[in-house]
Amino acid sequence: MNILALNWLSNNIGDDVQTVAVMQHLPRVDAYIDRDHLNTYDGPQAILVTNGWFLEELDNWPPSEAIKPIFFGFHVQKRAKPTIARHAAYLKKHEPIGCRDSGTVAFIRSLGVEAYLSLCSTLTFDAPSDRKPDSIYLVEADLGDLTPNFRKSHGLKLKTVSHRVAETPTEVRLRFAREIIETYGRKAALIVTKRIHCAMPCVAMGIPTVFIGPKTNRTAIVEEIGLKRHSKWHPISHPFASRVAEIPPALDIDGIKTQIRQDLRNRIAAALA
């Protein structure tokens, strides 16, 4: 039985962070396959942890019959729901469907398919043993998201990072994804971000995290794990939203992390048996 992992043609390295997170729990990876072209796979029978945001190429669903999917951390975007619904029998064949958010759980169950809240594999990262935090990372955030006093008084380095990437080979993207998560784990005293696949790994590593992203079905996992959503301050559109004035306590999700890790590993082992 081959083992596949997803690769991505997006410009968001957070997609690759999801693959890196899953790979922590796989015995190996034999090949990578594009999320939006799972129907084209014609190799040996293979398992695939089918996680992330679906579906961009609507005509390419369902995946190849040669793929045995493990639905875990599955999120269905609004425009894909009619396509997914037409192929409810495919999901039924591969239930239970582990979903990233409660909205997707409700949608899948409405199709008569067993579903549950698996959350996301990006919540299974552990902090590096050599963690020595000395920096605030603004990940697609900016200095305006911090109060002026806080910018001056915390005594930490301020670093601005983007998760946007140019078109590069899969191995390069995965290496960058690993390195950026490891960097946050070693050096981040605070993360301020609108990227859920920055926020989730950092919460898992015990890093104080402020999430300033918009409230959508795609980002509902923030509330699912108990992370408070911080309204992004803007002088015109959000004049009353508060800017970050201090480092909040880290969110303790050790119980959630253990449950997700064990669930995913059990499902992989069962698929390979």
Interval 69-99: pLDDT, tens: 999 999 999 999 999 999 999 999 999 999 9
Which of 82, 81, 116 has the alpha carbon at shortest distance from 100?
116
Domain check: are 201 and 102 in the same one?
no
Predicted confidence at residue 242, as pLDDT, reads 86
Please tell me whether residues 117 and 129 are part of one structural domain: no
234 and 153 inside one domain: yes
Residues 93 and 167 in one domain: no
pLDDT of residue 192: 97
% helix, strand, coil for the chain, step of 5: 40, 20, 40
DSSP state, 217? S
CATH of the domain at 64: 3.40.50
Whether residue 222 is found in the same domain as residue 196? yes
Between strands 67-76 and 46-54, the pairing is parallel
Whether the CA torsion 3, 16, 188, 246 is positive or negative: it is: negative
Residue 71 sits in which domain range?
Answer: 2-122+257-272
Number of folded domains in the chain? Answer: 2
- Give the pLDDT confidence score for residue 239 in this predicted structure: 77
Are 264 and 222 contained in the same domain? Answer: no
| Same domain assignment for residues 97 and 52 | yes
Q: Are residues 104 and 13 both part of a single domain?
A: yes
Q: What is the pLDDT of residue 168?
A: 86
Rounded CA separation 69/74 (Å):
11
> Predicted confidence band at 18 (pLDDT cuts at 50, 70, 90)?
very high
102 shares a domain with 92 = yes
Give the pTM: 0.94
97 and 159 part of one domain: no
Structural Rg of the chain based on CA atoms: 19
CA 235 to chain centre: 30
Q: Span 171-187, mean pLDDT?
A: 96
pLDDT digits (tens, 9 = 90+) for 204-224: 999 999 999 988 888 999 999
Which residues are registered as beta bridge partners of 192? Answer: 138, 210
Condensed to tens digits (0 to 9), the pLDDT of residues 4-14 reads 999 988 889 99
Q: State whether 160 and 115 are in the same domain.
A: no
Q: Looking at the predicted structure, is the pLDDT value of residue 232 above 80?
A: no
